[in-house]
């Protein structure tokens, strides 16, 4: 029995000027997509470059949201859980990437006023005064990560989605307490 032939195209991608001391990136991509022009090849390379982000999304979905632990539940429960956990995983991944790509943006792009105030009052431990302006996105993400166990040593990389997941869960509780305390103060 003969198998049908498949037309394959190959794209060789080589980094021209790698950072000093680093090996140049070299990818040999195989695709069944038609490659007729340089734009076609560049589009395939761009799609391949998204692979890391897609893998990180699935990692967050599996590790942070523990989606695989729910595999024995009913189909209906899974149908409800997957969309919700996908949103959570996307948000964690987006937050991680935004903090790396736009570190100097204000944290108000991700946090409400009461959230960043509660965060600043908690990390570092029991700050005496709130800052006059919100921290940067990078500063806020690192503070959230500290709530999740991130140590922030000089040798540490930027925090990842799992640490942020734990930190955001703690921040949610802290911020709700902050909000309740300030409402109580307004009533008195």
User: Which residues pair with residue 30 across a beta bridge?
Assistant: 10
- For residue 13, the enclosing domain spans 9-49
pLDDT band at 78; cut points 50, 70, 90: confident
Q: Which residues of 112-130 are buried (b: 16+ CB within 10 A; e: fewer)?
A: eeebbbbbbbbbeeeeeee
At 185, list the tokens: 């103060």
Domain identity same for 88 and 176: yes
Domain identity same for 96 and 30: no
pLDDT in tens, 1-37: 788 888 999 999 999 998 899 999 898 999 999 999 9
Domain identity same for 60 and 112: yes
Residue 42 pLDDT = 94
Q: Which helix (H) or strand (E) holds 180?
A: helix 161-187
Mean pLDDT of 150-159: 82
Domain identity same for 31 and 68: no
DSSP string over 50-96? THHHHHHHHHIIIIIS-GGGGTTS-HHHHHHHHHHHHHHHHHHHHHH
Domain identity same for 96 and 14: no
Mean pLDDT of 95-106: 89
Q: Is the pTM of this model over 0.75?
A: no
Domain identity same for 86 and 122: yes
Would you say residue 1 lies in a domain?
A: no
Would you say residue 2 lies in a domain?
A: no
Residue 188 pLDDT = 43
| Helix, coil or strand: residue 106 | strand
Domain identity same for 81 and 130: yes
User: Which residues pair with residue 13 across a beta bridge?
Assistant: 27
User: Which residues pair with residue 161 across a beta bridge?
Assistant: none
Mean pLDDT of 44-52: 90
pLDDT in tens, 108-153: 998 999 999 999 888 876 556 778 889 999 999 999 999 988 887 8
Residue 127 pLDDT = 59
Rounded to whole angstroms, how far apart are CA atoms 118 and 107? 13
Domain identity same for 74 and 22: no
Would you say residue 94 lies in a domain?
A: yes
Residue 136 pLDDT = 92
Contact (Cβ atoms closer than 8 angstroms) between residue 87 and residue 67: no
Domain identity same for 35 and 113: no
Domain identity same for 40 and 133: no
Domain identity same for 81 and 145: yes
Domain identity same for 103 and 43: no
If you average pLDDT over every residue of the chain, what do you get? 86
What is the DSSP code (8-state) at residue 136?
B
Q: How many domains does the chain have?
A: 2
Residue 31 pLDDT = 94
pLDDT above 70: residue 187: no
Q: Which helix (H) or strand (E) holds 11?
A: strand 9-14
Would you say residue 3 lies in a domain?
A: no
> Crossing angle, helix 38-49 and helix 51-59, to 10 degrees?
20
Nearest to 89 by CA among 65, 106, 107: 65
Would you say residue 117 lies in a domain?
A: yes
pLDDT band at 93; cut points 50, 70, 90: confident
Q: Look up the CATH number of the domain holding residue 77.
A: 1.10.740.10
pLDDT above 70: residue 72: no
């Amino acid at each position: 029995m003969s198998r049908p032939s498949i037309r394959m195209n190959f794209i060789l991608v080589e980094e021209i000027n790698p950072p000093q001391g680093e090996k140049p990136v070299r990818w040999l991509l195989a695709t069944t997509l038609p490659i007729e022009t340089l734009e076609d090849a560049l589009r395939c390379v761009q799609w391949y470059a998204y692979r890391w982000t897609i893998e990180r999304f699935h990692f967050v979905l599996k590790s942070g949201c523990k989606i695989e632990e729910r595999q024995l539940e009913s189909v209906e429960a899974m149908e409800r859980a997957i969309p919700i956990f996908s949103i959570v995983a996307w948000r964690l991944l987006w937050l991680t990437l935004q903090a790396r790509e736009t570190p100097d943006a204000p944290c108000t792009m991700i946090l409400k006023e009461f959230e960043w105030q509660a965060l600043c009052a908690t990390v570092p431990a029991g700050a005496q005064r709130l800052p006059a302006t919100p921290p940067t996105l990078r500063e806020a993400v690192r503070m959230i990560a500290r709530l999740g166990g991130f140590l922030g040593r000089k040798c540490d990389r930027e925090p990842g989605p799992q640490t942020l997941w734990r930190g955001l869960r703690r921040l949610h509780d802290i911020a709700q307490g902050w909000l309740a305390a300030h409402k109580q103060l307004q009533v008195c």
